[in-house]
Amino acid sequence: MDCTVKKRAYQDGCATAHALDLIGDRWAMLIMRELILGPKRFTDLRGSLPGISANVLTQRLEELEAASILVRRRLPPPAASQIYELTEWGRESEILFQVLGRWACRSPTMQPGMPMSNASVILSMRTMIDRSRIGDMNATVGLRLGDEEFRLVIKGGDFTAGRGEAAGADVIFSGDPNALAGLIYGGLAFEDVAAALQVDGNRTLAERFVRLFPLPPKAPATATPSSG
């Protein structure tokens, strides 16, 4: 059996080089990001990655499956849909997204306000949560973002976030994930996103919640601006 995942490789014994052999191609890590919160269908993946073509998505899924990072399976009737999900080893990659995300958001060239998928918003919160700010806060937060729902739990100084029913939460945010990201990371006020994001429930709690995710300071810019 040919165990080669792809033709291009660094031919380097370093494990970091091997990691890049596995997931260094364009879109590979973003596909993994979309699957960290749970399995998705091909159409769901395309919807959350609007810049990817069907052919490239198919190729990357095949490569990640060959590398044992994800598996595909068919749901039983009546759904009978084919879904893709990370293996247990594949799910361990979340730490990569956390470290890389915290490092990259310090980039002096990263532009705020770029579109974010539902998964990227949730993972960013799991990455950026500052538990020292939680204090005595015990609450549930529901998110209705498009056709997906998420439940966030803040309890005993800890924070969890994943797919789940939003109903019954102490506060529920409904609407555009990019408006929510702007509220949390972009310095926008609730009034600024009112047209795109509805907030129901405990408003004081909502205002406290969005301050739990401070961004690290930017790295100093060293590049000399072009005069041309």
- Confidence category of residue 3, pLDDT binned at 50, 70, 90: very low
CATH code: domain of residue 68: 1.10.10.10
Predicted pLDDT of residue 6 = 56
Strands 158-163 and 171-175: unpaired
Residue 105 lies in a domain: no
Which residues, listed in sequence order, are joined to residue 40 by a DSSP beta bridge?
Answer: 84
Residue 10 lies in a domain: no
Predicted pLDDT of residue 99 = 97
Residue 5 lies in a domain: no
195 and 137 co-located in one domain: yes
148 and 194 co-located in one domain: yes
203 and 130 co-located in one domain: yes
Residue type, 108: P
CATH code: domain of residue 133: 3.30.1050.10
120 and 204 co-located in one domain: yes
136 and 200 co-located in one domain: yes
Pick 228 or 137 by higher pLDDT. 137
Average pLDDT over the chain, rounded to an integer? 93
Q: Which of 97, 126, 153 is the last residue of a domain?
A: 97
141 and 166 co-located in one domain: yes
Residue 142 lies in a domain: yes
Residue 224 lies in a domain: no
Query: Is pTM beyond 0.85 here?
Result: yes
Residue 72 lies in a domain: yes
Name the residue range of residue 165's domain: 111-209
pLDDT tens-place string over residues 98-147: 999 999 999 999 988 889 999 999 999 999 999 999 999 999 999 999 99
Q: The tokens of 198 are what?
A: 């509805």
Q: Pick the closest to residue 176 from 116, 124, 126, 125 (CA basis).
A: 116
- Confidence category of residue 2, pLDDT binned at 50, 70, 90: very low
171 and 199 co-located in one domain: yes
In the chain, how many domains are there?
A: 2
N residues, the chain? 228
Predicted pLDDT of residue 225 = 61
Within the chain, strands assigned E span 40-41, 70-74, 82-86, 139-145, 148-155, 158-163, 171-175, 197-201
- Dihedral sign of CA atoms 48, 16, 18, 68 in order: negative
83 and 121 co-located in one domain: no
What is the C-alpha to C-alpha distance for residues 171 and 151, in angstroms, rounded to an integer? 10
Whether 23 and 69 have beta carbons less than 8 Å apart is answered as yes
118 and 197 co-located in one domain: yes
pLDDT tens-place string over residues 42-64: 999 999 999 999 999 999 999 99
What is the C-alpha to C-alpha distance for residues 74 and 52, in angstroms, rounded to an integer? 23
Residue 80 lies in a domain: yes
Residue 190 lies in a domain: yes
What is the C-alpha to C-alpha distance for residues 9 and 169, in angstroms, rounded to an integer? 48
